[in-house]
Amino acid sequence: MAQQMFGSFDPELLKQSIAAEEERNLLAQAQLSPAQMQNLIQLRSGQMLGQGAGQVVSGIFGVEAQDPRLRQAQLAQESYQEALQTSGGDANSPQFFQALANSAARRNLSTLAQQAATQASTLATQQMEAFQKQASGIASIAQAQRERTLAPGQEIAQAAGALGFAIPADLRNFTTEQWKAIDNKINETKLKNAAASAARLNFEDPKGKVAAITEINNQVKPYVGQITSLDQAIALRRNDTSPFSQRIFEQTVAGAFGDSQKAAAEISRLVNTGNLGQRVTNTLSMFLSGNIGQATKEDQLESLNAIRDYVAKQYDMTISPYRNVVGDKADELAPLSANRFQRPKLQQNQQYIPFDVVNQYGLRKGQRLKQGDKEFVYNGDGTITIVK
């Protein structure tokens, strides 16, 4: 009789739906950790609840009625999925929790929205504190410029000396052609040294293999630190809610090259050799003059991505002789930058575009591109959005 009255009634499903309701009450009452919040939001609302409580109600009334609490759970699940899509898929990032807060607020889930916003703020603060700790001790690049002198870094001085150039007290006295020659000399020396080092490697015995791996890691260590720092800054700079975003740019560009004077020298080298294209050159020129606040967020992100690509090329150039030596173990012992580093996540329909492509076509924000039957829009920040 009871089964006829309730149609497809299943006692186990009803029991599960009651347990789920208790968990939803916890969500409304407790201050939850990110993992707890994620587990509760992902509760089987779209599967178990939709088939359990929904079947019970429809069995009684013959219509698709819905408990308001069930509707709230479904709205929470929708908010979670939407936040995942808009934040790039990282459910532990401040971007995800901010997106979750916005999605929940649009669905009038005030408790969830408030908790997610609080978690977004907490995570953003923690990330910024970690970043500031990493960047501590780095003097402001603007201060170096106010002193009106750019002292050459060791590599620049050695390359200039090998070319017979007089080393000026201020790097701005190097001509563009001299800068290009210096840049080529530095890269040539790096490649020659790496090749000589790779030729001495010995993988025939265990001790030799350990020493070889240590040598490879030591050769690329500076680039690993630079790329890691730049990727962290790109992820933070993309966060619209960060109150530290401009300072992140300043600290990272200085920190990626070591101390402030060396950073000034290296950026001057990039600017004057034209390696990063006109728009990035303009942005970094503002940076060198202490006027980076005049650059848009897109300009700053484009510059960070361009520097990141440039450093990755330096890494790949340095690692290439070692890859030749280790042969079929190259991807394991001397991986290329694309395989070793994971760039900050983007939205599902976005992807990074190499800065040399941006330079080659002089891409501007909003410019549309076509490749076969696909169509893209350049976002002005080193990324494109797939529109077709």
135 domain-assigned: no
Q: Of 99, 124, 149, which one is at a domain's C-terminal end?
A: 124
**Could you report the per-residue pLDDT of 321-344, keeping only the tens digit for each?**
988 888 888 888 889 999 989 888
Whether residue 16 is found in the same domain as residue 156: no
Whether residue 90 is found in the same domain as residue 208: no
For the chain, the maximum distance between any two Cα atoms, rounded to a whole number of angstroms, is: 101
Of 145, 317, 342, nearest to 234 (Cα)?
Answer: 342
Please give the pLDDT value at position 219.
Answer: 87
**Could you report the per-residue pLDDT of 178-216, keeping only the tens digit for each?**
989 999 999 999 899 888 988 888 777 777 778 888 888
Task: For residue 296, give the 3-state DSSP assignment.
Answer: coil
pLDDT (average), residues 123-130: 69
Whether residue 385 is found in the same domain as residue 330: no
Whether residue 182 is found in the same domain as residue 293: yes
311 domain-assigned: yes
Q: Which residues contact 118 (CB under 8 A, 6 or more apart)?
A: 31
Q: How far apart are CA 223 and CA 230, in angstroms?
A: 10
Whether residue 174 is found in the same domain as residue 307: yes
Which residue intervals of the chain are DSSP H helices?
Answer: 2-6, 11-29, 34-41, 48-61, 68-87, 94-106, 110-135, 141-146, 154-162, 176-199, 206-237, 245-256, 260-273, 277-288, 297-326, 330-333, 337-340, 355-361
Q: How far apart are CA 282 and CA 122, in angstroms?
A: 35
Whether residue 339 is found in the same domain as residue 359: no
Whether residue 293 is found in the same domain as residue 363: no
Whether residue 278 is found in the same domain as residue 369: no
Distances in Å between the alpha carbon of 266 and those of 11, 15, 20, 141, 306? Answer: 71, 66, 58, 12, 14
When pLDDT is cut at 50, 70 and 90, the band that residue 60 belongs to is very low
Classify 190 in phi/psi space as left (phi over 0), alpha (psi -120 to 50) or beta.
alpha
Whether residue 164 is found in the same domain as residue 294: yes
Whether residue 202 is found in the same domain as residue 68: no
* pLDDT of 373 over the 60 cut: yes
Enclosing domain of residue 369? 347-388
Please give the pLDDT value at position 35.
Answer: 53
**Could you report the per-residue pLDDT of 70-93, keeping only the tens digit for each?**
777 778 878 888 887 766 666 777
Asked if residue 300 lies in contact with residue 292, where contact means CB atoms within 8 angstroms, the answer is: yes
pTM: 0.61
Q: Of 124, 152, 169, which one is at a domain's C-terminal end?
A: 124
Distances in Å between the alpha carbon of 312 and those of 50, 316, 370? Answer: 49, 6, 26
Alpha-carbon torsion, ordered 342, 343, 348, 350, to 10 deg: -140
136 domain-assigned: no
258 domain-assigned: yes
Please give the pLDDT value at position 138.
Answer: 40
132 domain-assigned: no
130 domain-assigned: no
pLDDT (average), residues 252-259: 70
131 domain-assigned: no
Structure token pair of residue 248? 């992140």
Please give the pLDDT value at position 198.
Answer: 86
Asked if residue 314 lies in contact with residue 223, where contact means CB atoms within 8 angstroms, the answer is: yes
Q: Which residues contact 5 (CB under 8 A, 6 or more apart)?
A: 59, 60
What percentage of residues in the chain have a pLDDT greater than 70? Answer: 71
Whether residue 334 is found in the same domain as residue 208: yes
Whether residue 269 is found in the same domain as residue 318: yes
Q: How many domains does the chain have?
A: 3
Q: Of 89, 124, 159, which one is at a domain's C-terminal end?
A: 124
133 domain-assigned: no
